[in-house]
């Protein structure tokens, strides 16, 4: 089982991957493939201290983006391309939020695979694709047989995870020739891995198992050159994740304990759950958290914040129990006040761009309305009053579980318009549109003066993005909930 050359390397001191971990166990940040000594670093310069964007930054020391900040003059009222008057800002543009600007770490100074090396990686991937399940199983066998202590980091049932971790490894390696595209995704992933108990020194171990699995199954395309390409790709991937985790460690815990303080049923399968964290939890409207419940240890799922940050620090989530869903079922049907769950750090880039002058066009499907409600609250409290149109979709009128709240917000804010949409053929009130949200958007005119936001099930996010492009919003002005998979431009 462990007979291939790459596997024989395992356990030797000459690791293929030299992850920059110092003898103290602390990470020597940004030193790439070269092993560094403790004296070389450990100071994290703030952004700008190195004189370029490659410097390290901590959220607290970030300068205000040019042109923003409290001193900025509020623009006068304007008329939009849809003919409606945009109100004069009531409050100055908000200061950058602590959660801003920590999305991506700078590229680490490690070798990036060349175009020829990416081609070798592609060839390996093409060869193993038909036997992907066997490669994945072998990878995890190597990982857990050689490093039994790592098994405790993973959930008891590994089916979903097997697919996600290994698939992410392969997909990111394929894109390693364009690391700028990777940094945002991998920075979030690296930060998120802190809650699993992942440590910097685990990365080389995992990399050796990746090589071992590839070498065993890529009979025709594996070669010294292919191995070099994979080593470069994995070193880059893991370095970005390690760096992001190290920066995050300076500013936030790996996870938070959170007590359920209220649990309200909104419908037969949807609950509004309010949590109090044990330590301050900084996030932005439009982002999401990850939750581990006491009933399914080490099983984590994402849930969006259903409100902007509150002065009392409480966090509200909307959870819909999916059929046979482990975590959602437990949160909706089992959780009650007094229960304690664990939260990972905030993630996601579907935040309001307060530097934009455009209106906001938001598409929310099902519980995807939760982050949009949070964004409305943020705009109401801090932002300039911009036109804000929400298309709120569900299969039936009954499933528009938060329509009353949305109507209330609409009544309070003249700049907000809420358009409920339900699937074809459902009996509805006259005020409710019928059809699929993307189709309704396409039939609603041109929205080029707006920024687009989409949140909901993955299928709706994909079709929603297409619809927003079709109505005149360029890709770079569209923000959406994370798809639970890797999606890169150009794929
Ligand atoms: C960025 C992001 C934000 C999210 N925010 C929210 C939120 O605010 N509220 C919320 O309720 N959920 C949200 N989700 C979905 C959530 O993370 C879980 O995927 C969902 O709760 C199901 O998890 P589970 O453990 O209960 O189901 P699992 O045990 O993972 O799945 C059980 C079965 O249900 C199927 N299934 C999984 N999801 C769905 C679905 N949506 N509809 C139908 N069948 C499904 C699976 O294929 C499987 O067969 C979000 C997801 C992402 C990626
Ligand atoms: C140091 C080595 C690593 C360890 C110990 C580790 C461990 C884990 C654990 C315990 C989980 C959660 C399992 C679950 O939710 O079911 C997870 C999830 C995941 N891992 Fe890793 N991982 C490592 C490196 C990597 C790398 C290098 C990548 C890819 C580039 C990766 C990609 C993922 C992805 C995509 C998920 C899915 C959930 C999420 O987004 O957090 N991991 N990993």
448-470, pLDDT tens digit by residue? 999 999 999 999 999 999 999 99
End-to-end CA distance of the chain: 35
Which ligand is the nearest neighbour of the Cα of 482? 1
- Please give the structure tokens belonging to residue 15: 């690791």
Output the CA 457–ligand 1 centroid distance in Å: 8
Summarize the chain as % helix, strand, coil (round to 5): 35, 15, 45
Q: What percent of the chain has pLDDT over 70?
A: 75
Output the CA 460–ligand 1 centroid distance in Å: 14
Q: Provide CB contacts within 8 A for 43, sequence distance 6+.
A: none
- Which pLDDT value is given to residue 99? 41
Counting every residue, how long is the chain? 491
Half-sphere exposure of 282 (CA within 13 A, CB side): 12
Residues with beta carbon inside 6 Å of ligand 2?
150, 153-155, 161, 164-165, 168-169, 172, 189, 192-193, 196, 198, 202-203, 206, 237-238, 241, 300
Ligand 2 atom with the smallest distance to the CA of 234 is 27
Which ligand is the nearest neighbour of the Cα of 175? 2
Determine the average pLDDT of the residues in 89-106: 47
- Distance between CA atoms of 252 and 247, rounded to whole angstroms? 9
Which ligand is the nearest neighbour of the Cα of 329? 1
Determine the average pLDDT of the residues in 290-305: 96
Residue 205 has pLDDT above 60, yes or no: yes
Determine the average pLDDT of the residues in 244-259: 96
Question: CATH 3.40.50.80: which residues of the chain?
Answer: 359-480
Residue 40 DSSP symbol: G
Higher pLDDT, 265 or 14: 265
Question: CATH 1.10.490.10: which residues of the chain?
Answer: 5-44+106-249
Q: Provide CB contacts within 8 A for 214, sequence distance 6+.
A: 6, 124, 128, 135, 222, 230
Q: Which of 148, 185, 191, 153 is nearest to 168 (CA)?
A: 185
Residue 437 has pLDDT above 70, yes or no: yes
- Distance between CA atoms of 240 and 238, rounded to whole angstroms? 5
Ligand 2 atom 27 nearest Cα:
238
359-480 CATH, one of 3.60.21.10, 3.40.640.10, 3.40.50.80, 2.40.100.10: 3.40.50.80
Output the CA 319–ligand 1 centroid distance in Å: 9
- Which pLDDT value is given to residue 107? 83
* Sign of the dihedral defined by the CA atoms of residues 429, 430, 435, 439, in that order: negative
5-44+106-249 classified as CATH 1.10.490.10:
yes
pLDDT-based confidence at residue 287 (cuts at 50, 70, 90): very high
Output the CA 168–ligand 1 centroid distance in Å: 19
- Distance between CA atoms of 133 and 217, rounded to whole angstroms? 11
- Distance between CA atoms of 254 and 193, rounded to whole angstroms? 8
pLDDT digits (tens, 9 = 90+) for 359-411: 999 999 999 999 999 999 999 987 677 899 999 999 988 899 999 999 999 99
Residues with beta carbon inside 6 Å of ligand 1?
288, 301-304, 317-320, 322-329, 367, 370, 457, 481-482, 484
pLDDT digits (tens, 9 = 90+) for 108-156: 888 899 999 999 999 999 999 899 889 999 999 999 999 999 999 999 8
Residue 432 has pLDDT above 60, yes or no: yes
- Distance between CA atoms of 432 and 447, rounded to whole angstroms? 21
- Which pLDDT value is given to residue 227? 97
pLDDT digits (tens, 9 = 90+) for 28-38: 333 333 222 22
- Which pLDDT value is given to residue 172? 87
Ligand 1 atom with the smallest distance to the CA of 302 is 17
- 175 within 8 A of 121, measured Cβ to Cβ: no
User: pTM of the predicted model, to two decimals?
Assistant: 0.82
Question: CATH 2.40.30.10: which residues of the chain?
Answer: 256-343
- 142 within 8 A of 213, measured Cβ to Cβ: yes
Three-class secondary structure of residue 118 per DSSP = helix
DSSP result, 229-259: HHHHHHHHHHHHHHHHHHHHHTTS-S-EEEE
- 321 within 8 A of 268, measured Cβ to Cβ: no
> Could you give phi then psi for residue 56, rounded to 5 degrees?
-75, 150
- Which pLDDT value is given to residue 453? 97
- 332 within 8 A of 264, measured Cβ to Cβ: no
pLDDT-based confidence at residue 252 (cuts at 50, 70, 90): very high
Output the CA 469–ligand 2 centroid distance in Å: 32
Q: Provide CB contacts within 8 A for 187, sequence distance 6+.
A: 103, 104, 105, 240, 241, 243, 244
- Please give the structure tokens belonging to residue 108: 């680490």
- Distance between CA atoms of 216 and 138, rounded to whole angstroms? 9
Ligand 1 atom 5 nearest Cα:
303
Residue 17 DSSP symbol: S
CA distances from 202 to 15, 145, 229, 423 (A): 12, 14, 21, 48
Residue 40 has pLDDT above 70, yes or no: no
- Which pLDDT value is given to residue 383? 66
pLDDT-based confidence at residue 490 (cuts at 50, 70, 90): very low
Longest Cα–Cα distance in the chain? 72
- Please give the structure tokens belonging to residue 426: 């459902």
Which CATH fold would you assign to the domain 256-343?
A: Elongation Factor Tu (Ef-tu); domain 3 (2.40.30)
Q: Whose structure tokens read 């109507």? A: 407
Determine the average pLDDT of the residues in 1-16: 38
Residue 397 DSSP symbol: G
- Which pLDDT value is given to residue 20? 42
Determine the average pLDDT of the residues in 334-351: 96
Least confident of 15-19, 71-75, 349-353, 369-373: 71-75
CA angle at 389 for the pair 384 and 390, rounded to the nearest 5°: 120
């Amino acid at each position: 089982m462990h007979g291939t050359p790459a596997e024989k390397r395992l356990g030797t001191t000459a690791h293929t991957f030299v992850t920059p971990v110092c003898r103290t166990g602390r990470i020597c940040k940004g030193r790439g493939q070269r092993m560094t000594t403790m004296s070389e670093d450990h100071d994290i310069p703030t952004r700008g201290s190195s004189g370029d964007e490659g410097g390290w930054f901590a959220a607290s020391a970030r300068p205000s983006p040019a042109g923003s900040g409290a001193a900025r003059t509020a623009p006068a009222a304007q008329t939009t391309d849809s003919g409606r008057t945009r109100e004069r800002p009531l409050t100055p543009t908000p200061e950058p939020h602590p959660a801003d600007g920590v999305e991506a770490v700078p590229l680490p100074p490690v070798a990036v695979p060349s175009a020829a090396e990416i081609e070798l990686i592609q060839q390996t991937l093409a060869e193993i694709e038909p036997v992907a399940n066997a490669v994945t199983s072998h990878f995890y066998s190597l990982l857990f047989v050689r490093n039994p202590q790592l098994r405790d980091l993973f959930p008891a049932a590994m089916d979903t995870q097997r697919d996600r971790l290994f698939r992410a490894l392969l997909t990111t390696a394929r894109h390693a020739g364009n690391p700028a595209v990777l940094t945002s995704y991998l920075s979030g992933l690296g930060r998120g891995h802190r809650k699993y108990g992942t440590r910097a020194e685990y990365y080389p171990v995992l990399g050796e198992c990746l090589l071992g699995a590839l070498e065993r199954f890529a009979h025709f395309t594996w070669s010294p050159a292919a191995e070099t390409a994979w080593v470069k790709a994995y070193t880059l991937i893991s370095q970005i994740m390690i760096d992001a985790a190290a920066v995050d460690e300076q500013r936030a815990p790996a996870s938070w304990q959170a007590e359920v303080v209220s649990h309200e049923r909104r419908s037969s399968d949807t609950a509004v759950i309010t949590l109090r964290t044990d330590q301050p939890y900084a996030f932005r409207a439009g982002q999401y958290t990850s939750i581990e419940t006491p009933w399914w240890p080490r099983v984590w799922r994402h849930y969006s914040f259903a409100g902007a940050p509150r002065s009392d620090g409480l966090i509200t989530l909307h959870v819909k129990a999916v059929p046979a869903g482990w975590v959602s079922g437990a949160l909706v049907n089992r959780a009650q006040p007094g229960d304690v769950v664990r939260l990972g750090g905030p993630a996601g880039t579907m935040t309001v761009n307060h530097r934009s002058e455009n209106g906001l066009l938001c598409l929310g499907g099902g519980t995807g309305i939760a982050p949009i409600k949070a964004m409305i609250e943020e705009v109401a409290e801090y932002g300039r009053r911009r036109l804000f149109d929400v298309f709120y979709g569900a299969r039936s009128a009954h499933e528009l579980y938060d329509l009353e709240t949305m109507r209330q917000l609409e009544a309070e804010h003249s700049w907000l318009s809420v358009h409920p949409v339900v699937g074809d053929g459902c009996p509805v009130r006259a005020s409710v549109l019928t059809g699929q949200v993307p189709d309704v958007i396409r039939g609603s005119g041109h929205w080029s003066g707006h920024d687009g936001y989409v949140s909901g099930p993955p299928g709706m996010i994909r079709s929603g993005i297409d619809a927003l492009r079709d109505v005149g919003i360029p890709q770079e002005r569209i923000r959406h909930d994370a798809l639970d998979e890797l999606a890169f431009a150009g794929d």
